Amino acid sequence: MGRRMTIEVEEAERGNVVRVSSENGKTSDGGLEVIEGQQGSVNLRDRTRRRLNEIVSSWFPADRYAKAPSR
């Protein structure tokens, strides 16, 4: 079975809401994170981009032959 990760970013009043859900065969889990900041600001956009990069980097191994870390 394959692995699947879904990331959704939604605008909120005081920042961005990041919803992460992942499936690994028959198991699935999810999380919710709020990144606070003023909508439209460069700072909020940069923090959101960096956090998404951290999430994907921790989930997807750099070496394609390496085993992915289990959560």
What string of pLDDT tens digits covers the 71 residues of the chain? Answer: 577 889 999 999 889 999 999 887 778 888 888 999 988 889 999 999 999 998 888 877 666 666 666 65
CA pair distance 59, 71, nearest whole angstrom: 9
CA pair distance 46, 8, nearest whole angstrom: 16
**Model pLDDT, residue 69:** 61
**Which alpha helices (DSSP H) does the chain contain, by range?**
42-59
Structure-block tokens of residue 34 = 């709020």
pTM: predicted TM-score of the whole model, two decimal places: 0.73
**Model pLDDT, residue 67:** 65
Q: Is 21 helix (H, G, I), strand (E, B) or coil?
A: strand
**Model pLDDT, residue 63:** 62
Rg, the chain, Cα only: 14
